[in-house]
Amino acid sequence: MSLPAVFVAGTDTGIGKTHAACALLHALREAGESACGMKPVASGCVDTPDGRRNEDALALLAAGSVPLPYELVNPVALREPLSPHLAAAHEGVTISLPPLREAFDALQASHDRVVVEGVGGWLVPLAPGLFASDIAKAWQLPVILVVGLRLGCLSHALLTARAVVADGCRLVGWIANRIDPAMDAAEENLATLRTLLHAPCLGVLPHGEVEPALAARHLNVKSIIA
């Protein structure tokens, strides 16, 4: 099952999608693949002399195989740190899929693998009638789910996995991220996730500010590139 592109979804916002996506990029590169990241829509961007920039998109850019134009990695950069549909409305912008697809096609044409990171959770609104999940659906991208290990993660993970499948997408794996080092029964929760999530666990990322290149050692990407 060789996957030229994957969509990284999360059980919520702030659970480490970018960290996992960057680690995934490094793991792919270490396996000999040319790989790049993409953040189609990002809110919470800052204006710089080079243009509007987003911290997560810059991290993905840095984790890729080669330098790329920022606008290809993050076509829609919104200033306010809000749900994208609100941040876009405040700027008089309407998010639509065709410009995002154009950037994605350019990235895919020049790389073996493209890791597309979503925004927030699976059903974050982007525009009237358009959700973050529609990117994965429209582009037929297999999904990797990032699960933040903390109280409540079991329900969040299972509900998101159910929504992914209900939307007609393939859940091809999941990555656990230890965001709460004091989580009670963490190993038992991990065991429960391994039993109830009907997709392989690609790895468990340790807690703390671990460099993506080091975090990559905790991932197994054989199922993506085989």
Average pLDDT of the residues in 118-126 = 96
Question: Is the CATH code 3.40.50.300 the one for domain 5-225?
Answer: yes
Q: Which amino acid is at 43?
A: S
DSSP-derived pairing of the beta strands 113-117 and 143-148: unpaired
DSSP class of 219 = B
Helices (H), the chain: 17-30, 55-63, 70-73, 84-90, 97-109, 133-139, 153-166, 186-196, 212-215, 222-225
DSSP-derived pairing of the beta strands 171-177 and 143-148: parallel
What local confidence, expressed as pLDDT, does residue 223 receive? 83
Q: Name the active-site residue from 17, 39, 137, 222.
A: 39
Q: Give me 36's structure tokens.
A: 């790049």
Average pLDDT of the residues in 61-88 = 97
- Number of Cβ within 10 Å of residue 163's Cβ equals 16
Please, what is the average pLDDT of the chain?
A: 96
Q: Are 215 and 59 in contact (CB under 8 A)?
A: no
- Cα 225 from Cα 136, distance rounded (Å): 19
Cβ neighbours of residue 183 closer than 8 Å, sequence gap 6 or more: 149, 150, 151, 189
Whether 226 has a pLDDT exceeding 90, the answer reads no
Q: Give me 206's structure tokens.
A: 């340790």
What local confidence, expressed as pLDDT, does residue 210 receive? 81
Q: How confident is the model at residue 214 (pLDDT cuts 50, 70, 90)?
A: very high
Average pLDDT of the residues in 148-152 = 95
- Number of Cβ within 10 Å of residue 50's Cβ equals 7
Average pLDDT of the residues in 130-147 = 98
Whether 1 has a pLDDT exceeding 60, the answer reads no
Average pLDDT of the residues in 58-62 = 98
222 tagged catalytic: no
Torsion angle, CA of 209/144/146/113, rounded to 10 degrees?
20
Helix (H, G, I), strand (E, B) or coil at 142: coil
What local confidence, expressed as pLDDT, does residue 65 receive? 95
Query: Residue ranges per domain, the chain?
Result: 5-225
What local confidence, expressed as pLDDT, does residue 208 receive? 80
